[in-house]
């Protein structure tokens, strides 16, 4: 067996820390980073300080909290021309929020996770705050993650469910059997439904956006309170989601820089 590459381990740890910080808009403490990353506090602090020295993180000494740094903005701006689809999808996110009254979102697949890129508030005064920019969920969790998993290949789904302990981390409602049942329902309707599985009373629905190779790479979704997602309303919400997801896919296909995602 090959020896693990030390430099690769450092990069993996630094990437994990950046993701943890990115998920906390109000900043995060060194202790919380250490806890969530599984690192010792001295190791976490050294990596945090090194990332800050490169401008990738910023430290609020008054509140003892870490934030994303200015260099990430520069790097993100340069990468946006190739990877950012928010400009292409924003009209559809706004349309969903306007026509449904619910909060609407664009999420992207990153490895075995989804990350929320865009949020648009609807007009209905009672809202769900499970999703927000930067939050991540594993595939199979939340409507965006479920719809992207559902339209992945069968072999990929089997491998994923065999190695990722969703039930242990997210409860019995995320057992392999329960997820497979929701995958079947999602494939039947074309859209995913999350019936309050993350936060009681907070429902969501999602539709996949496919890349040029037919892979579910992004998703549009809406969330709101349970009474707004009654069975009789779901087909209409699903139709709107599928319609807008298709439109985004068409726009991507006509935009050369989005032709490949690797």
pLDDT at residue number 75:
76
pLDDT at residue number 120:
93
pLDDT band at 130 (very low <50, low <70, confident <90, very high): low
Inform me whether the pLDDT recorded for 28 exceeds 60.
yes
pLDDT band at 5 (very low <50, low <70, confident <90, very high): very low
Inform me whether the pLDDT recorded for 119 exceeds 50.
yes
pTM of the model: 0.70
pLDDT tens by residue, 231-247: 999 999 999 999 999 99
Q: Calculate what percentage of the chain has a pLDDT beyond 70.
A: 89
Residue 217 exposed, middle or buried by CB count within 10 Å (0-12, 13-18, 19+) = buried
Alpha-carbon span 109 to 219, nearest angstrom: 8
pLDDT tens by residue, 92-102: 999 999 999 99
pLDDT tens by residue, 35-53: 988 999 999 999 999 999 9
User: What average pLDDT does range 65-82 have in this prediction?
Assistant: 75
Alpha-carbon span 30 to 120, nearest angstrom: 31
- Please answer whether residues 68 and 34 qualify as being in contact, where contact means their C-beta atoms are separated by less than 8 angstroms: no
């Amino acid at each position: 067996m090959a020896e693990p590459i030390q430099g690769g381990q450092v990069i993996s740890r630094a990437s994990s820390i950046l993701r943890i910080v990115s998920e906390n808009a109000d900043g995060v403490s060194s202790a919380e980073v250490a806890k969530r990353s599984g690192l010792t506090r001295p190791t976490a602090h050294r990596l945090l300080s090194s990332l800050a020295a490169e401008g990738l993180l910023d430290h609020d000494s008054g509140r003892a909290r870490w934030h994303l740094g200015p260099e990430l903005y520069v790097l993100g701006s340069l990468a946006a021309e190739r990877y950012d689809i928010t400009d292409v999808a924003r009209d559809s996110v706004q349309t969903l929020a306007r026509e449904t009254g619910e909060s609407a979102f664009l999420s992207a697949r990153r490895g075995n996770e989804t990350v929320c890129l865009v949020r648009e508030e609807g007009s209905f005064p009672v809202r769900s705050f499970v999703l927000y920019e930067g939050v991540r969920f594993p595939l199979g969790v939340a409507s965006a993650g479920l719809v992207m998993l559902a339209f992945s290949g069968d072999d990929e789904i089997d491998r994923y469910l065999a190695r990722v302990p969703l039930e242990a981390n997210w409860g019995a409602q995320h057992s392999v059997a329960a997820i497979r049942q929701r995958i079947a329902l999602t494939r039947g309707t074309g859209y995913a439904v999350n019936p309050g599985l993350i936060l009681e009373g907070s429902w969501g629905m999602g539709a996949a956006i496919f890349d040029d190779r037919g892979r579910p790479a992004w998703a549009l979704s809406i969330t709101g309170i349970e009474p707004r997602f009654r069975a009789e309303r779901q087909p209409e919400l699903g139709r709107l989601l599928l319609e807008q997801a298709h439109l985004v896919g068409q726009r991507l296909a006509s935009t050369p820089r989005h032709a490949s995602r690797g």
